[in-house]
Structure 1
Amino acid sequence: MNYLSAENLSKTYGDRTLFKNLTFGINRGDKVAIVGANGSGKTTLLSILAGAMPPDAGLVSHRKDISIGYLDQQPDFNDALTVMEVVLAGESAQLDAVRAYEHALAHEDNKGLEQAMADMEKLEAWDYEAQIRQILGELGIQDFEQIVGSLSGGQRKRVALARVLIQNPDLIILDEPTNHLDLEAIEYLENYLNTNNGTLLMVSHDRYFLDRVCNQIAEMDNGQLYTYKGNYAYFLEKKDEREAAAASELTKDRNTFRRELEWMRRQPKARGTKAQYRIDAFEDLKEKTSGKKNDGDLDLNLRMARLGSKILEVENLSKRFGEKVLLDHFTYTFKRPDRVGLIGKNGMGKTTLMNMLTGQLRPDSGKISTGGTVKFGYYTQTELDLPENQRVIDVVQDVAEVMKLANGDTITATQLLSRFLFDRSKQYDFVAKLSGGEKRRLQLLLVLVQNPNFLILDEPTNDLDITTLNVLEDFLINFPGCVLIVTHDRYFMDRLVEHVFVMEGEGKVRDYPGNYTDYREWRDSQPKANARPGKPATADVKSQATAPVVSSVPTNQNGAKRKLSFKEIREYETLEKDIESLEQRKTEIVSLLNTGGHHEQLIAWSREIEQIDQTIAEKSDRWLELAEYI
């Protein structure tokens, strides 16, 4: 069943054609990712397919009886609304019921509350409301009454994503959905999309995410769309085959072009003396061979400032904002060549720690001692504030007109921009014309051109295309200085880091030896009660994690499956009875709600249902945990 069709789409910005006569389709059950270089037109194509932007030519048609949810890169909200009001802004009978219920509660409307509760019961919307709160919580949104106008750009993106998921549309269209999510939220989204039976179209550069979610990859390349049936790993294999075949064809075309060019020059110029069909074929061949472009390779072979023996020593670092403790006596000594990943939920203090290490923020207590030769290169999550009317070449020349490479050679700003995949025409474009990914690539250039020897990278993978990410990874692997990375790209982190700082809450930091996947596998093997938020496992970074990565099957020290103690067996049996009793009490309260009552009593019953749902969820988690040992 066809959900979306696009025929002969074309889009041009100024003198630049993004794509021409592009045809594309999505069927029910497809999970398609559009990939390609920065500036190739992925976001523009997605906007056109979602109906948010008109094409210059061509037609997009959607199946009339399906619902579509679209996540834009820059969500547009009414800033006066609360988070809950925004996420309930969709259209469905269940959403109408939840909206009416929330409104009646907020305005103490006794009559309206009775009707709203009856509608909630009729439409089975009680579980739907719980699902809404769960989705918001999983995406890191805890304050449902916060005004949207007070949210950061990343928080707004998460609210927009929650709204799309809550509406549960037939066709989900997502533009960079993993940006601004922490690692746990990404894994939740990954699992949600894998278990959802809907149809998906997205743009993403997260390679693990692409490999595990998608069954079809569409690559934007030189204005064309190449489709591959399979996941990301299959796409990489088939792309190599296509490019090899294209290179062979291009070689043949160029050889033919040289022969035809010789014929064109040798023959008389009079039109009647030459075969017109051959002249037309020559012009087509000329356009075909000249239209092919060589993407080139991003070259990051820049010089690094000398790094001495003393690098960075942190002793008993503490920081809090109000009642929230972000760091509590954090101690660590950086050595060359440290490669550290910094992970933790949003709001745990990752950016705060990096700002203190670079001197942009003062700690409440503790000491930071920086070596005399250390030169930080700090790539921040926030885009550089560059004048929109300034040309790209001028931006780089304001930092340096000539730079030194690692081999001692010098290079001009123009040559350096070429190595960063900004061709001559792009170098003289205004900053305002750059795509989001191109701006991030320019920001990376401006950090590296200062020859740092200690790189601190805060979400460097946001908006960068996969080609750039691969080259950046190779550069960092061979970088002789220190690297501290915050990223939601699990593949990027797994390739680069040797140990991770895990910010566990309440100011506690764990130093785990290994990459992110090693830590995640170890964490998942631990009893779930120890991994819950607010219950950190260690006092500070000096209490390093020494537990090895183990199998997900619970075992004892001898490798045999661990047996439950007598006390745990009794707990397991009690939990079953408790859950059954809670379910029975919930049914009784729902029946009472249907009979009506005083306003205060109705509110008390509805709140009791919420508490029961939460208790059932907690007891079910513990029951499943113990069930693994039965």
Structure 2
Amino acid sequence: MVDRYARGGGALVVVTHDRWFLDAVCTRTWEVHDGVVDQYEGGYAAYVLARAERAQQAATVESKRQNLLRKELAWLRRGAPARTSKPKFRIDAATALIADEPPPRDSLALARTATARLGKDVLDIEDVTYTLPDGRVLFDDITWRLGPGDRYGVVGVNGAGKTTLLRLLTGSAVPTSGRVRRGKTVRVAELRQDVEDLDELAGLTVVEAVEREKRTIVVAGKELTAAQLVERLGFTRERARTLVGELSGGERRRLQLLRLLVGEPNVLLLDEPTNDLDTDTLAAVEDLLDGWPGTLIVVSHDRYLLERVCDRQVALLGDGHLRDLPGGVEEYLQLRGAALAASGAGSTSAVGSAAAASAAASAPATGGADTPSTPGPSAAEVRAARKEVQRIERRLQRISALEADLHTRMAAQATDHQAVTALDAELRALAAEREELELAWLEAAETAG
């Protein structure tokens, strides 16, 4: 996608809730809300940062939204794979916002709580083979053991068996051979892709639909009423009194999740939970899942969500096996790329051998390797690159100061149209210079190491 739409070679406008895609492809972000369009430079991470900065400067009373944004930034700062190449001057700006922010979740504390609620035995898939009616073997002698507090993301191509894997865990599918063991205290809840189960509640309001399950729930040590939980997941007071039959697709999805959570399951299975959800609601859902002390399995194509709420990932590669991914989604993409290259036509039949080839290629080289290595930059080139990085950062700091001064002057001369137009032109020139410098910074930083 990036290669096809090169800089200066065309324009690309995309409407998506896929935040990882926004970060990887987009150079500007527009937020549409309340009848207006706010523009931000950069992808999703830059948008989150700029939006948090605006909120701080304006000293708004929307404390809940600010806390969610700061928590997003805290996760970004801790080094998600796709964000480790972010310019240092942007990371430094984020650091000031998140200096006192706690981690998204205390994994040890959640594991202790989960152990108390679940015991040692949760769900075990042992030597399971599952054959489809057409004779195709979907799973071939797989074993997967889930413990208390485990948080797994499941990835794989369409048709590889991700939904069937969840059905095996819930007991709605029976393996051809092998067995699925469940702990005595396990209470499983599954968020399915369809929302048809809400049709029978069409005459109830959102709050009533949640209260039918339970009136209160404890989240992160705090007791919330159904109305408070509904508000926490993005339903305003007006929408909370709306009939279920009048909700949009995204709102129905939110209500589905709410009804599952108030039942207080200790094993939660989510099948494509981000379908139809906007980015604010996604952040709210992720924040809620951070404090949820149970075993969590998420099937999703949303890489941002998987990296955000899960501690480990596994993949169904289409060869009948379940593969652990120590390298996360990035490792899965490498395996898929190797499989497609090996097959030539993109079929999944050669995935197993391609995965093995990819693993062998990524293994540390031993003494007898003949693979030629690409020479790195010389010491002089590294020194020059480091000086260039320092020069660019000084200029970027100066640009930030100039932009702040221009904004102040524009506010002071708001009634003078000509003056504001001239100042706006200066701002645009500085923005263009900043963009060029950021690209140069990235190139120099790559050489400097």
User: Is the TM value for this pair above 0.5?
Assistant: yes
Q: Please say if 1:463 is aligned against 2:276.
A: yes
Q: State the alpha-carbon separation in 2 of the partners of residues 449 and 385 from structure 1.
A: 16
Shift of 1:559: 9.3
State whether residues 498 and 514 of structure 1, in contact with CA within 8 Å, keep that contact through their aligned partners in structure 2.
no
Q: Trace 1:136-175 onto structure 2 (pairs within 5 A).
A: none
Shift of 1:396: 1.0
Match for residue 318 of structure 1? 129
Q: State the alpha-carbon separation in 1 of the partners of residues 311 and 63 from structure 2.
A: 38
Q: State the alpha-carbon separation in 1 of the partners of residues 230 and 295 from structure 2.
A: 25
Q: State the alpha-carbon separation in 2 of the partners of residues 548 and 340 from structure 1.
A: 25
Q: State the alpha-carbon separation in 1 of the partners of residues 7 and 369 from structure 2.
A: 32
Shift of 1:501: 2.5
Q: State the alpha-carbon separation in 2 of the partners of residues 436 and 343 from structure 1.
A: 24
Match for residue 414 of structure 1? 227
- Residue 199 of structure 1 aligns to a residue whose secondary structure is coil
- Residue 360 of structure 1 aligns to a residue whose secondary structure is coil
- Residue 217 of structure 2 aligns to a residue whose secondary structure is strand
Match for residue 557 of structure 1? 366
Shift of 1:458: 0.9
Shift of 1:193: 5.8
Match for residue 400 of structure 1? 214
Q: State the alpha-carbon separation in 1 of the partners of residues 6 and 187 from structure 2.
A: 44
Match for residue 439 of structure 1? 252
Q: Trace 1:345-494 onto structure 2 (pairs within 5 A).
A: 345-387=157-199, 388-407=202-221, 410-494=223-307
- Residue 464 of structure 1 aligns to a residue whose secondary structure is coil
- Residue 198 of structure 2 aligns to a residue whose secondary structure is coil
Question: Relative to 1, partners in 2 of residues 1:222 and 1:330: Cα closer, same or farther, differing over 3 Å?
Answer: same
Question: Relative to 1, partners in 2 of residues 1:365 and 1:374: Cα closer, same or farther, differing over 3 Å?
Answer: same
Match for residue 153 of structure 2? 341
Q: Trace 1:32-431 onto structure 2 (pairs within 5 A).
A: 197-247=9-59, 306-321=117-132, 322-387=134-199, 388-407=202-221, 410-431=223-244
Shift of 1:451: 1.0
Question: Relative to 1, partners in 2 of residues 1:332 and 1:194: Cα closer, same or farther, differing over 3 Å?
Answer: farther
Q: State the alpha-carbon separation in 2 of the partners of residues 384 and 537 from structure 1.
A: 37
Match for residue 33 of structure 1? none
Shift of 1:437: 2.0
Q: Deviations over 1:563-598 (max 9, x none)?
A: 6xxxxxxxxxxxxxxxxxxxxxxxxxxxxxxxxxxx
Shift of 1:347: 0.8
Shift of 1:361: 1.6
Question: Relative to 1, partners in 2 of residues 1:499 and 1:192: Cα closer, same or farther, differing over 3 Å?
Answer: farther
State whether residues 122 and 147 of structure 2, in contact with CA within 8 Å, keep that contact through their aligned partners in structure 1.
yes
Question: Relative to 1, partners in 2 of residues 1:295 and 1:479: Cα closer, same or farther, differing over 3 Å?
Answer: closer
State whether residues 392 and 430 of structure 1, in contact with CA within 8 Å, keep that contact through their aligned partners in structure 2.
yes
Shift of 1:475: 4.1
Q: Deviations over 1:298-354 (max 9, x none)?
A: 899999781111111111212122132211111122123322221211011110111
- Residue 200 of structure 1 aligns to a residue whose secondary structure is coil
Sequence identity of aligned pairs in percent?
Answer: 37
State whether residues 381 and 460 of structure 1, in contact with CA within 8 Å, keep that contact through their aligned partners in structure 2.
yes
State whether residues 319 and 348 of structure 2, in contact with CA within 8 Å, keep that contact through their aligned partners in structure 1.
no
Q: State the alpha-carbon separation in 1 of the partners of residues 140 and 191 from structure 2.
A: 25
Question: Relative to 1, partners in 2 of residues 1:204 and 1:444: Cα closer, same or farther, differing over 3 Å?
Answer: same
Question: Relative to 1, partners in 2 of residues 1:337 and 1:293: Cα closer, same or farther, differing over 3 Å?
Answer: closer
Q: Please say if 1:534 is aligned against 2:349.
A: yes
Q: Trace 1:545-624 onto structure 2 (pairs within 5 A).
A: 547=359, 550=362, 556-558=365-367, 562=371
Q: State the alpha-carbon separation in 1 of the partners of residues 26 and 313 from structure 2.
A: 29
Q: Deviations over 1:371-395 (max 9, x none)?
A: 0111112111112432334321221
Q: Deviations over 1:469-525 (max 9, x none)?
A: 234334444443222111111122223434332212242222232311134346657
CA RMSD of aligned residues (A): 3.9
Shift of 1:218: 1.0
Shift of 1:210: 0.6
Q: State the alpha-carbon separation in 1 of the partners of residues 121 and 328 from structure 2.
A: 25
Q: Aligned to 1:511, which of 313, 324, 337? A: 324
- AA in 2 matched with 1:394: E
State whether residues 30 and 39 of structure 2, in contact with CA within 8 Å, keep that contact through their aligned partners in structure 1.
yes
- AA in 2 matched with 1:307: L
Structure 1-normalised TM-score? 0.46
Which stretch of structure 1 is more off in the superposition, 525-534 or 504-513? 525-534
- AA in 1 matched with 2:371: R
Q: State the alpha-carbon separation in 2 of the partners of residues 201 and 336 from structure 1.
A: 43
- AA in 1 matched with 2:304: Y
Match for residue 409 of structure 2? none
State whether residues 340 and 347 of structure 2, in contact with CA within 8 Å, keep that contact through their aligned partners in structure 1.
no
Q: State the alpha-carbon separation in 2 of the partners of residues 545 and 483 from structure 1.
A: 31
Structure 2-normalised TM-score? 0.62
Question: Relative to 1, partners in 2 of residues 1:403 and 1:343: Cα closer, same or farther, differing over 3 Å?
Answer: closer
State whether residues 198 and 256 of structure 2, in contact with CA within 8 Å, keep that contact through their aligned partners in structure 1.
no
Greater gyration radius: 1
State whether residues 324 and 506 of structure 1, in contact with CA within 8 Å, keep that contact through their aligned partners in structure 2.
no
Could you tell me which runs of 5 or more consecutive residues in structure 2 were left unpaired when the two chains were aligned: 72-103, 373-449
Q: State the alpha-carbon separation in 1 of the partners of residues 294 and 361 from structure 2.
A: 28
Question: Relative to 1, partners in 2 of residues 1:413 and 1:499: Cα closer, same or farther, differing over 3 Å?
Answer: closer
Shift of 1:404: 3.8
Q: State the alpha-carbon separation in 1 of the partners of residues 357 and 267 from structure 2.
A: 25
Could you tell me which runs of 5 or more consecutive residues in structure 1 were left unpaired when the two chains were aligned: 1-188, 252-291, 564-630
State whether residues 205 and 465 of structure 1, in contact with CA within 8 Å, keep that contact through their aligned partners in structure 2.
yes
Q: Deviations over 1:386-420 (max 9, x none)?
A: 2334321221122123334453x644322222222
- AA in 1 matched with 2:131: R
Structure (1/2) with the larger helix percentage: 2
- Residue 319 of structure 1 aligns to a residue whose secondary structure is strand
- Residue 202 of structure 1 aligns to a residue whose secondary structure is coil
Question: Relative to 1, partners in 2 of residues 1:196 and 1:537: Cα closer, same or farther, differing over 3 Å?
Answer: farther
Question: Relative to 1, partners in 2 of residues 1:545 and 1:381: Cα closer, same or farther, differing over 3 Å?
Answer: farther
Question: Relative to 1, partners in 2 of residues 1:374 and 1:490: Cα closer, same or farther, differing over 3 Å?
Answer: same
- AA in 1 matched with 2:207: I
State whether residues 456 and 483 of structure 1, in contact with CA within 8 Å, keep that contact through their aligned partners in structure 2.
yes
- Residue 203 of structure 1 aligns to a residue whose secondary structure is coil
State whether residues 513 and 545 of structure 1, in contact with CA within 8 Å, keep that contact through their aligned partners in structure 2.
no
State whether residues 521 and 549 of structure 1, in contact with CA within 8 Å, keep that contact through their aligned partners in structure 2.
no
Q: State the alpha-carbon separation in 2 of the partners of residues 508 and 382 from structure 1.
A: 27
